[in-house]
């Protein structure tokens, strides 16, 4: 009798295992190797996705335009990036893409160090004293119409200038420190860890500590695969895992714990000792989308004629999955 019970129990376990395996969904995720996406990396390593029956297939992409097109065609399920012209124009053109999360933010406190500071050449320290001194000068952005340009615009607006008062130069992040030191540009927003690395080497200096307090720096987007059918349930499970990971990253001590530093190094290739010195991103506990900042970012792109007109904020978001603030 005991052998029969044990056999039956074993069969039940095997059946449950096969059922769970059959229900596992592979989710194709587009991302860049950035510390701003730490909740994604933590959710993988802590097996929060696995607990939700999700296997993540990470795919590195090169541009926002590429990401939006992949999502709309169903070649990707989720993408991590930032709000910008490609996303807004994609929605305007009928692409099935929506925002589901605000992943990383700059601190709302202007006195807190941002992971995206405005930096200048060390030799310019004392000559350039504030954003006001950038009038008429060349400043570097990685691309037009993205979050870096928006942060520059916020910093300039804070001192009574507009983006038209500087000359924007498009330059890749890896080239910005060299661009500053050889006087190709006067200032740049250099994301971490390059910001800290440049200052530690004595090549650059901080000009504006927090260019855009409270700005929503990176977001998560979904495409047509997650907007209908079984994909809606998978999106729910994906977001539960991601929020659980973000909830564990609510202080510098948590973000910079030895275990987490090892994870960040694994997914970004940045040495843990350097990461430990950087200015951390802020992660909303619920990965909420800041509605007010979303509107500010879109309004800026309309004002600068980089998109033709504003889109209703509600049409940019999948309210079934996203949580909102403001």
Would 314 be classed as within a structural domain? yes
- Write out pLDDT tens, residues 100-150: 999 999 999 999 999 999 999 999 999 999 999 999 999 999 999 999 999
Residues 229 and 290 in one domain: yes
Joined together, the tokens standing for residue 11 give: 């069969």
In a domain, 113, yes or no: no
User: Sign (positive/negative) of CA torsion 149, 151, 153, 159?
Assistant: negative
pLDDT digits (tens, 9 = 90+) for 3-28: 554 444 454 544 434 444 447 899 99
Q: Do residues 247 and 320 share a domain?
A: yes
Last residue of a domain, one of 208, 224, 249: 208
51: Cα separation from own chain's centroid: 24
End of a domain among 152, 178, 208? 208
In terms of domains, do 155 and 201 share one? yes
* Host domain of residue 148: 118-208
Predicted model pTM: 0.90
CB 31 within 8 A of CB 60: yes
Strands of 138-141's sheet in order across = 167-170, 138-141, 187-189, 118-121, 204-208
Position 4 in a domain: no
- Asked if residue 243 and residue 301 are part of one domain, the reply reads yes
């Amino acid at each position: 009798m005991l052998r029969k019970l044990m056999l039956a129990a074993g069969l039940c376990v095997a059946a449950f295992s096969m059922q769970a395996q059959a229900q596992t969904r592979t989710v194709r995720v587009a991302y860049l190797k950035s510390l701003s996406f730490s909740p994604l990396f933590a959710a993988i390593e802590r097996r929060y996705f696995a607990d939700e029956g999700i296997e993540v297939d990470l795919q590195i992409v090169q541009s926002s335009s590429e990401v939006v097109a992949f999502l709309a065609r169903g070649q990707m399920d989720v993408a991590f990036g930032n709000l910008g012209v490609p996303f807004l124009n994609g929605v305007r053109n009928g692409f099935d893409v929506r925002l589901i999360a605000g992943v990383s933010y700059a601190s709302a406190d202007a006195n807190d160090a941002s992971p995206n500071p405005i930096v200048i050449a060390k030799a310019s320290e004392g000559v350039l004293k504030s954003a006001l001194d950038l009038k008429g000068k060349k400043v570097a952005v990685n691309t037009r119409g993205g979050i870096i340009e928006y942060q520059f615009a916020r910093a300039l607006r804070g001192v009574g200038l507009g983006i038209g008062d500087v000359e924007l130069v498009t330059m890749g992040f890896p080239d910005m420190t060299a661009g500053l030191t050889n006087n190709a540009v006067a200032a740049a927003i250099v994301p971490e860890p390059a910001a800290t690395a440049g200052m530690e080497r004595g090549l650059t200096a901080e000009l504006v500590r927090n260019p855009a307090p409270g700005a929503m720096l990176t977001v998560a987007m979904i495409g047509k695969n997650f907007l209908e059918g079984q994909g809606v349930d998978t999106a729910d499970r994906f977001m539960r895992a991601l929020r659980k990971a973000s909830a564990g990253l609510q202080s510098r001590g948590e973000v910079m714990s030895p275990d987490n530093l090892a994870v960040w190094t694994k997914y970004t290739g940045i040495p843990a000792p350097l990461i430990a010195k950087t200015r951390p991103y802020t992660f909303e506990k619920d990965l909420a989308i800041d509605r007010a900042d979303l509107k500010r970012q879109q309004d800026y792109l309309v004002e600068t004629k980089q998109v033709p007109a504003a889109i209703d904020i509600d049409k940019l978001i999948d309210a079934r999955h996203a949580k909102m603030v403001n």
